[in-house]
Amino acid sequence: MRQVDVGLGARSYRVLIGEGLIDRAGEWLAPLARNAAITIVSEENVWTAQGKRLVDALARTGTACNPILVAPGEASKSWATLATVIDRLVELGTERQDHIVAFGGGVIGDLTGFAAAILNRGCNYVQIPTSLLAQVDSSVGGKTAINVPAGKNLVGAFHQPSLVLIDPLALATLPTRELRAGYAEVVKYGLIGDPAFFDWCEAHGHEVIAGDVAAQSHAIEASVGAKALIVAEDERETSGRRALLNLGHTFGHALEAETGFSDRLLHGEAVAIGMALAFHFSARRGLCSADDAARATAHLAAVGLPTQMRGIETTAGRLMAHMAKDKKKSGGRVSFILARAIGEAFVDAGVDLGDVETFLAEELG
């Protein structure tokens, strides 16, 4: 088992990573239970695939669980589902010092974390992420949110979990397409700040997607280690350090908006296209070499991720309109994460939006 510490003073917590941790979860959750019971928020697919492991693990420590199940998919990050979850938590008598468990992918972590942030003016929660995307990114760092018609993740809070338990064996039942989409966020850590990890991704990325548990464990440990350092340095994304984690996300969110935040384009797939665009735009502006842009794109394509906007019905103007609404806009400008090389990303708040539109128009052909 590996332990990564997220150092945030009084809000510090541990991320434990190990094969079979779900089957041992009672060791950590039983001491957090009240009246020998703990509430678990999950979604129907995850519960069918992995829920018995968690229920059995809790039972072995004499702990009962109160499951709250929501529908799978991004649509559950809504006011309506949030209200349902909160009402149920209230019915269960949840108190401020209680711990709620988020057991699922990024949707469950974001929704449960936000419910925990606002119920009783803040309860504790534990993340047990079951998708690769949640294991390497969204379960660590305390960003919680729901979506509203005006935009994705527009309503939320920074609310850190008290513990994160990551079991790579949970990935065994994850559809390959979701595994691959989560892998885009793994590659991101190499592209933003760790060229040696990008080399590792080039050599072993296909093993992560093929289900090799040793490769998956290494990818998770490296990603969580990198993220923990960034979050400890810039918890609320104020210094620009944490904003680097948004590489590919400004373009990616615009593409997700154009495809209705649907299965047509998964978040990680949109981020893969966005990272390729960010590198090509950086090369076009003379910031990084064309070779680095080609190499970053080639690896994403080699593992089967999309790197071009082909097939997406959109225009440069429509994408620009989405970016203008992006919450990362500040002081009337849209910030882009660009790159000087593989492993050297930086925040550029001074990009001329006309240049971006011309670039996108050319990319769309």
Lay out the site mask for ligand GLY across 210-249 (x = CB under 6 A, - = otherwise): --------------------------------x--x----
Based on CB atoms, which residue is closest to ligand GLY, 141 or 343?
141
Give the separation between CA 55 and CA 39, rounded to whole angstroms: 11
Active site residue 185: yes
Residue 188 binding ligand GLY, by CB under 6 A: no
Give the separation between CA 268 and CA 298, rounded to whole angstroms: 16
What residue has token string 């089967």?
A: 304
Write down the catalytic residue from 99, 218, 242, 280: 242
Q: Please give the size of the binding site for ligand GLY, defined by CB under 6 A.
A: 6
Quick one: which of 60, 80, 70 has its CA closest to 104? 70
Quick one: which of 180, 331, 322 has its CA closest to 254? 322
Active site residue 227: yes
Based on CB atoms, which residue is closest to ligand GLY, 53 or 143?
143
Which listed range, 63-71, 138-146, 174-182, 214-222, lies at the site for ligand GLY (CB under 6 A)? 138-146
Which listed range, 49-57, 134-142, 157-165, 332-340, lies at the site for ligand GLY (CB under 6 A)? 134-142
Based on CB atoms, which residue is closest to ligand GLY, 137 or 256?
137
Active site residue 242: yes
Please, which residues have CB within 8 angstroms of residue 155's CB and are 6 or more apart in sequence? Answer: 79, 114, 145, 146, 147, 148
Write down the catalytic residue from 180, 267, 299, 328: 267
Lay out the site mask for ligand GLY across 242-281 (x = CB under 6 A, - = otherwise): x--x------------------------------------
CB–CB of 156/146 below 8 Å?
yes
Please, which residues have CB within 8 angstroms of residue 279's CB and are 6 or more apart in sequence? Answer: 191, 288, 292, 293, 296, 297, 339
Nearest residue to ligand GLY, scored by beta-carbon proximity:
245
Write down the catalytic residue from 99, 143, 159, 328: 143
Active site residue 280: no
Residue 186 binding ligand GLY, by CB under 6 A: no
Question: Which of 110, 137, 194, 235 is close enough to bind ligand GLY by CB under 6 A?
Answer: 137
Q: What is the largest CA-CA distance in the chain?
A: 62
Instruction: Please provide the DSSP assignment of 180-217 as one string.
Output: HHHHHHHHHHHHHH-HHHHHHHHHHHHHHHHT-HHHHH
Please, which residues have CB within 8 angstroms of residue 355's CB and are 6 or more apart in sequence? Answer: 285
Active site residue 52: no
Question: Which of 88, 143, 188, 322 is close enough to bind ligand GLY by CB under 6 A?
Answer: 143
Q: Give the gyration radius of the chain's Cα atoms.
A: 20
Active site residue 152: no
Write down the catalytic residue from 53, 99, 218, 227: 227
CB of 249 to ligand GLY, least distance (A): 8
> What is the rounded end-to-end Cα distance, in angstroms, of the chain?
49
Active site residue 60: no
Q: What tokens were used for 205? A: 């990325």
- For ligand GLY, the binding residues (CB under 6 A) are 137-138, 141, 143, 242, 245
Residues with a catalytic annotation lie at 121, 143, 185, 227, 237, 242, 246, 249, 253, 267
